[in-house]
Amino acid sequence: MKILVVAPVPFFVDRGTPMRILEEALALEKKGFSIDMVSYHLGRDIKTVAPETKIKNFRIRKIMFWYDKEEAGPNWQKIVLDIFLVWKTVKVAFLKKPDIIHGHLHEGVLIGWMAKNILFWRKMRLVADFHGELVSEMESHGYLKGGIIKKAFSFLERVIFSLGDRTIVSSVELKDKINNFKRRDEIAVVLDGVNVDRYDLNKKNKIRDGKLGVIYSGAFVENKGISLLLNSITEIFREKHEGIHFILAGSPVENISGFIKKNNLEKMVEIVSPLEYKNLPETNMKGDIAVDPKTSETGQASGKILQYMGAGLPVVCFDRKNNRKYLGKAGYYVSDKTSRGITEGILHLFRNPDKIEMMSRISRKRAEKFSWENSAEKIINIYNKIR
């Protein structure tokens, strides 16, 4: 079966959405599928992170040579990039004759639907793969504060939710939110996965008496909860818990460096930026525990939690369905979605190091259940239902 993946992102770059797209595609390729991809003009060659793959990525032309935004978040210029991506998708679909177009994100689903209908005689099928909500995500980045434009995007989002022959979502919360627009049996939750073989726990730091390393690896942007985490670090600093050390790994570094300097947190916080995909296991294993301050407003799953689990880390996080599905008893769940809630979770584990050992073992064991191979099997089952 031939699959054309529509990835309306810079590809490949070292952040969550491209990582999910890459890992899904590689897992499907290992199952014998022929995979081609279309993406924006930005990013590294796929072989720099997956040397053995035969996946070919067809990029749009670099007509907008000044556009170099690789981090997450909306930008009005992406509308032009998506227009170019429509043309590229139609062209590649015409030449490669895929059986299925697998569109990621709302833009990729809409572009895949257009290509499917332009080349209607090919009878291609469309799988819609949503990672979160469009309107909520734009709001979380400071766009669409209200009015007619927000209403227009809300209508567009409802339309896009209905376009796929089958729909994949990355979280239980997102499935609950779009049940009103699709039949329940047409929506499948395909959770993120983790390759535990990348994590050699023999190289993991040993917990030192009276010391606690707290890792956050991900984007330093608002809708990932970075402000909540920074405020929590400030609270811990002011309360003089000197045995706690934070490792913040990700980008863009300018989003946190000013805050850390202003609040005199340099001795308490180590910044790792940029964080490359190949270095993610080594970086995560610097921590004794991990923290994920993301709330559920955008309906996104949190793939970073699975990477923490691969490193055998307990995780302080908010009480979400998806987080509990991943972590079980390896999570410390915060019901109060504030910086103080995160602070109290970190301090609880700091004061109870014996729990860390137990939760670490549970975390690593549960990680083995969430392989990309299992995710690929679910996707293949979806493909088979519509062919």
Examine the domain organization and report whether 119 and 53 are in the same domain: yes
pLDDT of residue 100: 98
pLDDT of residue 61: 94
Number of domains the chain contains: 2
pLDDT of residue 301: 66
Examine the domain organization and report whether 31 and 148 are in the same domain: yes
- Look at the chain and count its residues: 387
HSE at residue 299, side-chain half, CA atoms within 13 A, is: 23
pLDDT of residue 180: 73
What is the 3-class SS of the chain, one letter each residue? CEEEEEECCCCCCCCHHHHHHHHHHHHHHHCCCEEEEEECCCCCCHHHCCCCCCCEEEECCCCCCCCCCCCCCCCCCHHHHHHHHHHHHHHHHHHHCCCEEEEEHHHHHHHHHHHHHHCHHHCCEEEEEECCCHHHHHHHCCCCCCCHHHHHHHHHHHHHHCCCCEEEECCHHHHHHHCCCCCHHHEEECCCCCCHHHCCHHHCCCCCCCCEEEEEECCCCHHHCHHHHHHHHHHHHHCCCCCEEEEEECCCCHHHHHHHHHCCCCCCEEEECCCCHHHHHHHHCCCCEEEECCCCCCCCCCHHHHHHHHCCCCEEEECCHHHHHHHHHHEEEECCCCHHHHHHHHHHHHHCHHHHHHHHHHHHHHHCCCCHHHHHHHHHHHHHHHC
Examine the domain organization and report whether 318 and 179 are in the same domain: no
Examine the domain organization and report whether 131 and 247 are in the same domain: no
Examine the domain organization and report whether 316 and 335 are in the same domain: yes
Instruction: Please state, in angstroms and rounded to a whole number, the distance separating the CA atoms of residues 200 and 207.
Output: 16
Single-letter amino acid, residue 3 = I
Examine the domain organization and report whether 52 and 179 are in the same domain: yes
Examine the domain organization and report whether 77 and 215 are in the same domain: no
| pTM for this entry | 0.89
Examine the domain organization and report whether 165 and 222 are in the same domain: no
- Domain residues for the domain of 211 are 196-367
Per-residue pLDDT tens digits of the chain, which is 387 residues long: 999 999 999 999 998 899 999 999 999 999 999 999 999 999 999 999 999 999 999 999 999 888 998 887 788 899 999 999 999 999 999 999 999 999 999 999 999 999 999 999 999 999 999 998 888 878 877 777 778 888 898 899 999 999 999 999 988 888 888 887 776 678 999 988 999 999 988 877 776 677 999 999 999 988 899 999 999 999 999 999 989 999 999 999 999 999 999 999 999 999 999 999 999 999 999 999 999 999 866 556 678 999 999 999 999 999 998 899 999 999 999 998 899 999 999 999 999 999 999 999 999 999 999 989 999 999 999 999 998
pLDDT of residue 88: 98
379 and 190 Cβ atoms separated by less than 8 Å: yes
Examine the domain organization and report whether 300 and 165 are in the same domain: no
pLDDT of residue 297: 63
pLDDT of residue 145: 73
11 and 41 Cβ atoms separated by less than 8 Å: no
CATH code for the domain in which residue 327 is found: 3.40.50.2000
Examine the domain organization and report whether 167 and 261 are in the same domain: no
pLDDT of residue 300: 65
Examine the domain organization and report whether 203 and 217 are in the same domain: yes
pLDDT of residue 179: 81
Examine the domain organization and report whether 280 and 154 are in the same domain: no
Closest CA to 282 of 320, 249, 331, 243: 249
